[in-house]
A and B are shown apart, each in its own frame.
Chain A
Amino acid sequence: MSAVIFLIPIALFLGGLGLVAFLWSLKSGQYEDLEGAAHRILTDDETPEEEDDDHDTETERN
């Protein structure tokens, strides 16, 4: 019984954290373009600004 006293709040808190995280991701628009997100991992937009032009022309040639 005594274990239950602190285990239940912990379990509920962790569950609630999951719920809040989901609601946050919904609100920040992460589910708006699921297909696009799958394709965007193929593009490397981490490239520095000055290399951006080269990168663009490369995609056009494809």
Chain B
Amino acid sequence: MSCCAPGAETAAELVTAPEADDETLFAASKELKDGTRQIDLALPDIHCAACINTVEGALNKLDMVENARVNLSTKRVRIAYRPGAGRPSALTAAITAKGYRSFLLDPAADQAGDRTLTSLTRALAVAGFAAGNIMLFSVSIWSGADAVTRDLFHWISALIAIPAVAYAGQPFFTSAWRALKHGALNMDVPISLAVILALLLSLFETINGGAHAYFDAAVSLLFFLLIGRTLDYMMREKARGAVRNLARLAPRTALRVFEDGHREQVPVDDIAQGMQLEIAAGERVPVDATIISGVSDADLSLVTGESVPERVGPGAALLAGTTNLSGTLSVSATKPAADSFLARMIALMEAAEGSKAGYKRIADRAAAIYAPAVHLLALATFLGWGFIGGNWHTATLNAIAVLIITCPCALALAVPIVHVVASGRLFERGIMLKDGAALERLAEITRIAFDKTGTLTRGKPVMTGQAFGDPALFDQAAALAATSRHPFSKALSARYAGLAATDATEVPGMGVEAKDNGHVWRLGRAAFCSAETQKLDAEGSIVWLSRNGEPVAAFSFTDQVRPEAPAVINTLKARGFAVSLLSGDRAGPVKALARNTGIADARAGLTPEDKLETLTTFTTEGEKVVMVGDGLNDAPALMAAHVSMAPSSAADIGRNAADFIYTRDSLEAVPFALDLARRAARAVKQNFGLAIAYNCVAVPLAVSGHVTPLVAALAMSSSSVLVTLNALRLRFGGAPLPVPTQPSAPETARPVPAE
């Protein structure tokens, strides 16, 4: 098979995907003129020219499609279609038929971020044009043009600079104004002040035929700062876009059964207490409910961290977010959606957010000291020259020169440039950084708290071996298993290439039964295979195979530890971090895992509130914790932690709460990100040092009145370039982690895409 058709089977098994629902697709598409509609779908698997061709070709072949265009950078396709000519689900079906997965994006999450980037790029282009041309005039002035030519060049520079600053300076002016309105000072305040004053002073000098004009300084300053700001924005937008591609729209409806027996899809928000719902195998439970009838297996791994599916029957309580694995359940809602488990997690997260909001970015902290200091210095220069020298014109000139020369160009670039380079480096390794401030916080970390199921372990059972019986019977068991969607069955059939059993029936909560050549084969629980009395000496969960009611084979399964986990934890401990394990699972598996991976501080059976509580305790003890987790039950802890990381397979709510998302199915992302964050913090400090050193040289010159436009232009550009070069060092070094990649265990657990 080609490199370009992965995951067709994954798409096929999602029964109630929103991508197959006409109404959801229709609602998610945007109305264009003349009645056509436009829809954006995420295509996580496309990566080459042939992919573009295949998808666009398949879509454009449909009559209803006006135009389909794949965007390889954002991994999306934009389709314009006529709703009258066909069903919207035909679009996703056409993509699926070519072997690609298509995800419907949550339109609410997708805001118009492009517009900010476009306006920043436009401002950058204008500033670049103005800076280049004005610099040409300045160079000829510095080379000693006569007075008439100089004045002419000053006037032309003024004509270019004034509109350019008015247009390109807007991002800084608005931000400075917003800060001042709230009584605060940020870096944009001294920047705006310096640019505007330099412009006014130069205009005044030009009108009076003076020798010194700072048009070049004002405009090239804006140009440098806009480069930093645009790059910063581009990088963040790229990471956010990738995170949004993961945020697949969850089915927001449930099948309600009315008293008279008819069924109807109703929005989840309309479900009230006591309503009867039907949940098919493979579906998520939408609200907290109790089972009225039906037997099935419930996968609680996202909800509680429990790794082994639980058998549930009438009377059992189900939490929202549980996956129903094998049988159809008829349930009665015990709580409306607004009070369900999921909603409780959201409420906990909102309460926990306070701790993070208190963090102040390094740049803002620096600005709070720097801005007043610079303004006082300028005032002192003004008063000093005025009273001592007695010439208030010179006093004004020198005071403004101080403001221009101290304009925190290098300082304002110091942080964003480092963040741009660092997040670019992270992105290459499949780690998406949502916000630069999280990188600063990650550098302060003292303790790492891991969740168990799905984070340190794979979160899916893996067959560890045959505990009993003839090895030749494996094929028979796997053929039966291939007909079921239970995680144990999937693990069993993953190593099997033969045909699935025909004529098999699944008995919900028990197992699978099939008839073959007069024999009755059963695969499932001990009770189902009449093996209750048999005792086996094997770890983990056991699945039995019986022939005509007689147990003939048994297979053992465990939730496998990620092969790299012990090495990663050793690396982290060696670097002086404390490591904790916070799990909602039972004490047995948690202890075994802690022993295998060498974690001393392991806590089992924690509720989401307990996890939150544990993190708060760590924080009050003065520790800064990074939480790594993937479940619904981790979401409040992810929110409360100083920094948080989640795998891309995490529950939506956890992914939204986390600061870092790692997409490669490996824990090595954790030490890599920690390492890079520390190096980034060091680079930021060095950059601040460089900027301050520059000021130590330049400020005395400015105060003593020795700064000419030439000195100002040279000093400011060279300090900006120096800071940028220093940040670029992050691109190199930090060699691959010393984590040995162990030969993986004899199973074929492939990275499973997020559901």
Contacts and interface: CB of A to CB of B under 8 A. Distances in A.
A36 interface: yes
A19 B125 CA distance: 7
A42 to B, nearest CB: 4
A39 B125 contact: no
B2 A36 contact: no
B121 A26 contact: yes
Main secondary structure of the interface of A (DSSP, over half): helix
A26 B122 contact: yes
B129 A15 contact: yes
B71 interface: yes
B129 A18 contact: yes
Nearest to B4: A62
B118 interface: yes
A1 B149 contact: yes
Interface string A39-58: 11011000000001000100
Contacts of B52: 36, 39-40, 43
A52 B61 CA distance: 10
Interface string B275-308: 0000000000000000000000000000000000
B54 interface: yes
Interface string B321-335: 000000000000000
Contacts of B314: none
Contact of A35 (B58, B73, B118): B73
B50 interface: yes
A23 B53 CA distance: 29
Interface string B103-136: 0000000000000001001100110010011001
A34 B125 CA distance: 18
Contacts of A1: 148-149
B57 A59 contact: yes
Given A11-B133, A56-B57, A19 B126 contact: yes
Interface in B376-434: none
Main secondary structure of the interface of B (DSSP, over half): helix
Contacts of B58: 56
Contacts of B148: 1
A23 B4 CA distance: 36
Contacts of A62: 2, 4, 50
A37 B52 CA distance: 11
Contacts of B357: none
Contact of B72 (A4, A23, A35): A35
Nearest to B146: A1
Interface in B37-77: 48-50, 52-54, 57-58, 61, 70-74
B527 interface: no
Contact of A15 (B57, B74, B133): B133
Closest 10 CB pairs of A and B: A36-B72, A39-B49, A42-B49, A56-B57, A33-B71, A35-B73, A19-B129, A35-B72, A59-B53, A33-B73
24 contacts: A1-B148, A1-B149, A11-B136, A15-B129, A15-B133, A16-B129, A19-B126, A19-B129, A31-B121, A32-B71, A32-B73, A33-B74, A34-B73, A36-B71, A39-B49, A39-B72, A40-B49, A42-B49, A52-B57, A56-B54, A59-B50, A59-B54, A61-B2, A62-B4
Interface of B: 2, 4, 48-50, 52-54, 57-58, 61, 70-74, 98, 118, 121-122, 125-126, 129, 132-133, 136, 148-149, 156, 160
Given A26-B121, A36-B70, A39-B48, 17 more contacts: A1-B149, A8-B156, A11-B133, A11-B136, A19-B125, A22-B125, A23-B125, A32-B71, A33-B74, A35-B72, A36-B71, A36-B73, A43-B49, A43-B53, A56-B58, A59-B53, A60-B98
Interface of A: 1, 4, 8, 11-12, 15-16, 18-19, 22-23, 26-27, 31-36, 39-40, 42-43, 52, 56, 59-62
